[in-house]
Structure 1
Amino acid sequence: MAQSEESTEGAAKQYRGEVFDESSKKPLVFATLSVEGTNISTITNTEGNFLLKVPEDITDGTVVVSFLGYQSKNIPLSSLKNNKNKISLLVSVTALGEVDINAPKDAAALVKEALARRGDNYFDDPTLMTAFYRETIKKRRKNVSLSEAVVNIYKTPYSSLRKDAVELYKARKSTDYSKLDTVALKLQGGPFNTLYVDIMKYPEYIFADGSIEDYRFKFSRSTRINDKLVFVIKFEQYESIKDPLYKGELFIDVANKTLTSAIYTLNITDKNLAARLFVRKKPAKVDVWPTEVAYRVDYREKGGRWYYGYSNVLLEFKVDWEDKLFNSVYSMTAEMAVTDWEKNLDGQLPKVRERLKKSIILSEEAVGFSDPDFWGQYNIIEPEKSIESAIRKIQRQLRRARAKNGSAAP
């Protein structure tokens, strides 16, 4: 695992709290908290809550709290409480008029330059990353499945065409949802769904050969992130392009021409074309098509080099059964946060039989490990209250079903 001996074997202090906008008081989703000078970090959940675990031997560190378009905040570790920490951030806005006059005037040219410089601006050494991965499936607004894993990511240099390898270290699911007959969809690919959102490593998944010319790029605004001037560039496909491509925003560091974040969605102009992209297998009497496909990736900087830090994917589908009056709406969310990393000096990858396959369905691989000692040592994304309550409800249903079956047995 890409963690020091102290962080994996020693006891850890836990700090819980929330990060929110200072003016509106709204939670900031996917804000990053990292311990300065270390590789320890975590991410806020969809309610703005966080859980940060720090080895007990680190007592005088500084926690850096950052979020896209906001002023970062440095907080002494000694001033954090174990619970109910409330951290507010201020919006950071910079007018385009303040931008360096030497900055590129052509948005498309800036995007191409950022992609071309990935070998210069991002990690150029093989790296072993520890990441926390979670996928949830909801039927309308109700959580019906939750699977989590700690994985090793064997990241190859950004200048290399060699693909990354992923090794499943530990996984769990909350219960056996198949007995409830609630999940009609399964997410194939597991952690690869999020890993391939790393645009700088896998530009072909969004800007395939030549397809970058199918997009219109324009400057939207500028902001400051960690005291760095960042352009926000909007992009969308030309109206003449019929294939479902993407639209969204790219956040590019002006000084270094570095992509720091990207938020984008699939432009679903034709539901049948979009369905062919995502639906691998379905019953004959059912139609399944995506209604929303959204992505996000964030990069982090250390020592002048950037690396993949966090990504998420939201897939929303409609399922229309031929013999049912109403259709069902399912949403799948997959997210992965790098919580630690170290250089993989020899560049070795795990043996082929130990690597995750791109066709993995995590909810089938996760056999329900119950190991609180293990999970207590790792930085994970704090579960949402709605997920926790859904888990408790499903567990109660299962206990009742088992008790009923047990009493009916001869």
Structure 2
Amino acid sequence: MKMKTIFSFIILAHFSLFAFSQQGSKVAHVLKGKVINAESNQPVSYTNIGLEGTLYGTASDEEGNFELKIPEDLESKNIFFSAVGFQNRQFPLTELFGKEFNIVKLRPQSYDVGKIDVAGQNMVLIRILRMASENIRYNYGAGPFNLHCDLSVLQSREDSVLKDVNAKVLVYDKNGYSTPSPENAFRSRKYKVTKPAGKEDYTFSSAQLGIDELLNLDWVRSASGILNPALLNDYTLKLVSQPQIDGKEYWEIGFIQNKPTLEGSGDFYATLLDGSIFINKEDYSVKSIAVKVQSAKNNTQGRGLGISKSNADFYSNLNYVFIVSYENLLVKKIALSKQYIYNNKEVAENSVLTVNRAHANNVTVLNSRNYFAGE
């Protein structure tokens, strides 16, 4: 693997306009095209494209499209295509001349990230995480769709059970993973909760059920946390392993925020965040995310909310772990386990939202978040 070639081409796009202005040569050809994965036919975003022996080049956009103007004095050059996770390609420019639109196919390649030095490895891991985020809309289901889920919440204090809830949750997602952002996830996801037949009516508030909190842990849907490209420099990254799961190869990337931010952790008062993410080497899809968080305190209405100085009703000394798994283009399971102090008592809480069925046909449209509407 020629990592120096890859990194030099990452810089290449920034010099394209500068290099062209320095050439002072007449444009002979305008190349237009699209870079795609040779195995899946999906776009290869932000591919670095350059001419051999020069700083002249460009990069494909988010959809893999590119345009490159070729000066007369560079017509005889070879052209390079380079993207992390794919084999480099090099061939004469003349192969692209005379075509209205070119399709350039890159074959996936498994890099031995573990053999790169620390600085180089960090750059590659950032690139992998960025690709995972950018490919969410291609790797997961677009809306509208319904998720039929089981919810279980068990809360205990010392030897007594405070809460033992089992319910059905119907989730409606108008946009699905085609528009990953916190704002869109909040606006597009609605749900209805019903009690199992024969059970007494529940009296818990929506915050006590914690459904919003569980759904917010779906970082793939919201492109949050480690999947927010703007935050990647805030994490310490490490390649933990490169396992094979169900016949597919993955990167397991560990990430730590020693001084967590609200944007990076989703917790207003987090003091430590330590997690790992499994990313498919072929298409950059996320298989699972596991995160451990320590927090000084939490608002009883949600971990992302602040607490006023006059408010003495809050959780303190929190330790919690959440694990989110994905399967068949959608979230499969969200599990959250908490320990904290409330009213000077130690409380343990375990919540699990499991998706049993999903469908995009005959969708039930929900316009609000309704709790325990009955069956």
Range class of TM-score, shorter chain: 0.5 to 0.7
Among 289, 298, 305, the residue aligned to 2:325: 298
SS of aligned partner of 1:255: coil
Shift of 1:315: 2.5
Among 212, 224, 230, the residue aligned to 1:210: 230
Instruction: Name the residue aligned to 2:280.
Output: 253
* Residue identity in the other structure for 1:168: K
Instruction: Name the residue aligned to 1:316.
Output: 339
* Residue identity in the other structure for 1:148: N
Residues 115/149 of structure 1: CA separation in 2 closer, same or farther (3 Å cut): same
Instruction: Name the residue aligned to 1:140.
Output: 158
RMSD: 3.8
- Structure 2's unaligned 5+ residue stretches are 1-108, 115-120, 263-268
* Structure-2 separation of matches of 1:159 and 1:186: 27
Q: Is the 8 A contact 1:144 1:177 kept in 2?
A: no
* Residue identity in the other structure for 2:333: Y
* Offset from partner CA, 1:318-338 (integer Å, 9 cap, x none): 024xxxxxx201122221111
2:375 aligned with 1:340, yes or no? no
* Offset from partner CA, 1:244-276 (integer Å, 9 cap, x none): 2632110111111111001102243x4489997
Matches for 1:1-400 after TM superposition, within 5 Å: 100-101=110-111, 105=121, 106-155=124-173, 156-160=175-179, 162-163=184-185, 164-168=188-192, 170-172=194-196, 187-188=207-208, 190-204=210-224, 210-238=230-258, 244=270, 246-268=273-295, 270-271=296-297, 277=304, 288-301=315-328, 306-320=329-343, 327-344=344-361, 349-350=365-366, 352=367, 355-356=368-369, 365=372
Shift of 1:131: 0.9
Residues 139/281 of structure 1: CA separation in 2 closer, same or farther (3 Å cut): farther
Shift of 1:175: 6.1
- Structure 1's unaligned 5+ residue stretches are 1-98, 321-326, 370-410
* Residue identity in the other structure for 2:141: F
Query: Percent identity at matched positions?
Result: 16
Residues 175/201 of structure 1: CA separation in 2 closer, same or farther (3 Å cut): same
* Residue identity in the other structure for 1:221: S
SS of aligned partner of 1:120: helix
Residues 287/257 of structure 1: CA separation in 2 closer, same or farther (3 Å cut): closer
Q: TM-score, normalised by structure 1?
A: 0.50
* Structure-2 separation of matches of 1:136 and 1:146: 5
* Residue identity in the other structure for 1:167: Y
Residues 249/123 of structure 1: CA separation in 2 closer, same or farther (3 Å cut): same
* Offset from partner CA, 1:180-202 (integer Å, 9 cap, x none): xxx9x984463222222211111
SS of aligned partner of 1:108: helix
* Residue identity in the other structure for 1:342: H
Shift of 1:165: 2.8
Larger deviation, residues 113-122 vs 259-268: 259-268
Residues 344/128 of structure 1: CA separation in 2 closer, same or farther (3 Å cut): farther
Shift of 1:125: 4.2
Larger deviation, residues 271-280 vs 113-122: 271-280
* Residue identity in the other structure for 2:135: R
* Structure-2 separation of matches of 1:128 and 1:241: 32
Residues 141/229 of structure 1: CA separation in 2 closer, same or farther (3 Å cut): farther
Q: TM-score, normalised by structure 2?
A: 0.55
* Structure-2 separation of matches of 1:117 and 1:207: 11
Shift of 1:103: 6.5
Residues 349/160 of structure 1: CA separation in 2 closer, same or farther (3 Å cut): farther
* Offset from partner CA, 1:50-104 (integer Å, 9 cap, x none): xxxxxxxxxxxxxxxxxxxxxxxxxxxxxxxxxxxxxxxxxxxxxxxxx933779
* Offset from partner CA, 1:18-66 (integer Å, 9 cap, x none): xxxxxxxxxxxxxxxxxxxxxxxxxxxxxxxxxxxxxxxxxxxxxxxxx
* Structure-2 separation of matches of 1:103 and 1:234: 13
SS of aligned partner of 1:168: strand
SS of aligned partner of 2:254: strand
